[in-house]
Amino acid sequence: RNISPFLDPGPRTKANSLAILQLSRDNLLPVYLQPPTGEHDGYAEGAVVNTRYGSFPHSTMLNVPWGSQIRASKVDTGSRGRKRKREGVDDACREATGAAEKENEDSPAATNEDSATAVKKAVADASGFIHILPPTPELWTTSLPHRTQVVYTPDYSYILHRIRARPGSVLIEAGAGSGSFTHASVRAVYNGYPAEGERKGKVFSFEFHEQRYHKMKKELSDHGMNRLVHLTHRDVYNGGFLVDGKSPEADAVFLDLPAPWEALHHLSRRRPQTPLNGNAAPTENDQTEWVSPLNPKKSVHLCTFSPCIEQVTRTVSAMRRLGWVDIDMVEIANRKLHTSRERVGLNLNFDRGVNNSARDVEEALTRLVDIESRFREHAAKPRDGDEDMDSADEDEPAVVKGDGPTNGGQAPSAEETAAETAPWMEGRLITRGEPEIKTHTSYLVFAVLPMDWTEEDEAAAAAKYPLGK
């Protein structure tokens, strides 16, 4: 079965599939891994990703477990045209655990080599690695090529919850833009191979900008989402939401359009009597068939996404006239919290690009050697209850007695900390919030269109639940 890597990435990376390279905490790079087909673009190693942390031949990133740390190639892959042998390239392909184990065994510090040199070497080595992550809608949103403004994770997670997108839902989205929302909605509605009588979860997406439509089409195909998303090139204000003249029978709708009120008259149960986009009003004598794109058997949940309050006002007005109910507006004010541990007088911040506040390099190096040796000691030490543990627990990190102090607590002395805790539990736990909420993204307007309750529905309900019995 050819499932999108966004839905089932499998345990390991594979050729011709999307991977997200994490260069540093917030620096993500989407890459389609190429099979090792020999020379590629002047590189003897095949395709290579060049970053400020080093060069990473695709061959070193294939068939490794997701989440692996990948070391930079020791071969000078930057010299284009120089036909290097593959030799040495595979050396760089050591996934995190294997590499760490090997290094622990061969560690110069462990063989009493000059510790400062060992630490310098370790630091130099550590600068040349990245991590390889499976594609998820969240990672895609932060790394995708922007063609438009996009909907970000805090907004779309709330939206998908409110419009009740769930496995088996059918969702209409317009416009598709850069596909950020599309990826998240596909994951929400995906239900694999539904049982008989169940609907297949699907997204019907619309985009009127031709180039964006073509780019999106290619992306969906590259991401194995062709069967899950039906993308249509159309101006939905005029063309509406039917596909090949048929109703998608949508349960949920998301509109990220400059003028959602101009599309709303298509999202009705029957032909609206009021034209909302300047088109001629349908006459009462108009006998042509009118097909609704909505699921006739359910209440439909809608969200519109608009940056300005004027757009919200016009949208709400159109919703009211078209019979939408439970209308409300929400703004997501997202604030990040950064949590770290800090030791007084020595803040070793391992995040690349951030200077640490060690008084001098000497102190930092000594400290690193100390941490490294205690890491080793800690790993070697038997833990409470080890005897009773079954093998499944062996890889779990040690549970440290007496957790490190938090903001409000009394910090133990450095000696106590060193004696009692693992190195990664040292220091005061500090949580800093962003000083203010940075950006307004958009206002979210939600509404519900109840299903039409017919005489037949009433009769069926009465038969199923007879009164007085």
Q: Which stretch binds ligand SAM (CB under 6 A): 200-208, 223-231, 347-355, 403-411?
A: 200-208
The H or E element that residue 202 is part of is strand 202-207
Hey, which bits of 60-164 come out as E strands?
A: 69-71, 129-133
Q: Which phi and psi (to 5°) does residue 248 adopt?
A: -70, -15
Considering only residues 137, 177, 272, 423, which one is a binding residue for ligand SAM as defined by CB under 6 A?
177
At position 35, the amino acid (one-letter code) is P
Q: Rounded to the nearest whole angstrom, what is the least distance from the CB of residue 332 to ligand SAM in the complex?
A: 14
Q: Which phi and psi (to 5°) does residue 121 adopt?
A: -65, -45
When the beta carbons of 131 and 233 are compared against ligand SAM, the nearer one is 233
Q: Rounded to the nearest whole angstrom, what is the least distance from the CB of residue 203 to ligand SAM in the complex?
A: 12
Hey, which bits of 48-163 come out as E strands?
A: 48-51, 54-57, 69-71, 129-133
User: 170-174 and 202-207: which strand pairing?
Assistant: parallel
At position 371, the amino acid (one-letter code) is I
When the beta carbons of 237 and 324 are compared against ligand SAM, the nearer one is 237
Site for ligand SAM in 127-156 (CB under 6 A): 148-151
Both structure tokens of 220:
């969906």
When the beta carbons of 257 and 444 are compared against ligand SAM, the nearer one is 257
When the beta carbons of 49 and 236 are compared against ligand SAM, the nearer one is 236
Strand partners, 233: 207
When the beta carbons of 38 and 258 are compared against ligand SAM, the nearer one is 258
**Rounded Cα distance, 371 and 427, in Å:** 13
What DSSP designation does 435 have? S
When the beta carbons of 95 and 256 are compared against ligand SAM, the nearer one is 256
> What is the dihedral sign for C-alpha 214, 216, 221, 227?
negative
Considering only residues 58, 202, 212, 428, which one is a binding residue for ligand SAM as defined by CB under 6 A?
212
Q: Rounded to the nearest whole angstrom, what is the least distance from the CB of residue 272 to ligand SAM in the complex?
A: 17
Considering only residues 14, 74, 209, 314, which one is a binding residue for ligand SAM as defined by CB under 6 A?
209
**Rounded Cα distance, 375 and 352, in Å:** 21
Q: Rounded to the nearest whole angstrom, what is the least distance from the CB of residue 438 to ligand SAM in the complex?
A: 19
Q: Rounded to the nearest whole angstrom, what is the least distance from the CB of residue 186 to ligand SAM in the complex?
A: 12
277 touches ligand SAM (CB under 6 A): no
Site for ligand SAM in 229-268 (CB under 6 A): 235-237, 256-258
Q: Which stretch binds ligand SAM (CB under 6 A): 163-171, 179-187, 193-201, 334-342?
A: 179-187
Question: Other C-beta atoms within 10 Å of 225: how many?
Answer: 23
**Rounded Cα distance, 139 and 134, in Å:** 9
User: 229-233 and 202-207: which strand pairing?
Assistant: parallel
The H or E element that residue 102 is part of is helix 96-106
User: Angle at CA 90, nearest 5°, toward 84 and 94?
Assistant: 150
Q: Which stretch binds ligand SAM (CB under 6 A): 7-15, 25-33, 178-186, 386-394?
A: 178-186
When the beta carbons of 9 and 179 are compared against ligand SAM, the nearer one is 179
When the beta carbons of 138 and 420 are compared against ligand SAM, the nearer one is 138
Q: Rounded to the nearest whole angstrom, what is the least distance from the CB of residue 180 to ligand SAM in the complex?
A: 3
Q: Rounded to the nearest whole angstrom, what is the least distance from the CB of residue 207 to ligand SAM in the complex?
A: 5
- CB contact at 8 A, 284 and 194: no
User: 443-449 and 428-433: which strand pairing?
Assistant: unpaired
**Rounded Cα distance, 144 and 133, in Å:** 14
Length of the chain: 469
Considering only residues 180, 185, 205, 417, which one is a binding residue for ligand SAM as defined by CB under 6 A?
180
Q: Which phi and psi (to 5°) does residue 186 adopt?
A: -60, -45
Q: Rounded to the nearest whole angstrom, what is the least distance from the CB of residue 411 to ligand SAM in the complex?
A: 44
Q: Which stretch binds ligand SAM (CB under 6 A): 201-209, 280-288, 389-397, 409-417?
A: 201-209
When the beta carbons of 128 and 177 are compared against ligand SAM, the nearer one is 177
Q: Rounded to the nearest whole angstrom, what is the least distance from the CB of residue 179 to ligand SAM in the complex?
A: 5
When the beta carbons of 149 and 247 are compared against ligand SAM, the nearer one is 149
Q: Rounded to the nearest whole angstrom, what is the least distance from the CB of residue 250 to ligand SAM in the complex?
A: 16
Q: How many residues bind ligand SAM (CB under 6 A)?
A: 22
Considering only residues 175, 260, 272, 427, which one is a binding residue for ligand SAM as defined by CB under 6 A?
175
When the beta carbons of 43 and 208 are compared against ligand SAM, the nearer one is 208
DSSP H helical ranges for 353-432 = 361-380, 414-420
- CB contact at 8 A, 8 and 134: no
User: Coil, helix or strand for 28?
Assistant: strand
When the beta carbons of 130 and 253 are compared against ligand SAM, the nearer one is 253
Q: Rounded to the nearest whole angstrom, what is the least distance from the CB of residue 232 to ligand SAM in the complex?
A: 9
Site for ligand SAM in 50-89 (CB under 6 A): none
Both structure tokens of 304:
């519109």
Q: Which residues bind ligand SAM (CB under 6 A)?
A: 148-151, 174-175, 177-181, 206-209, 212, 235-237, 256-258
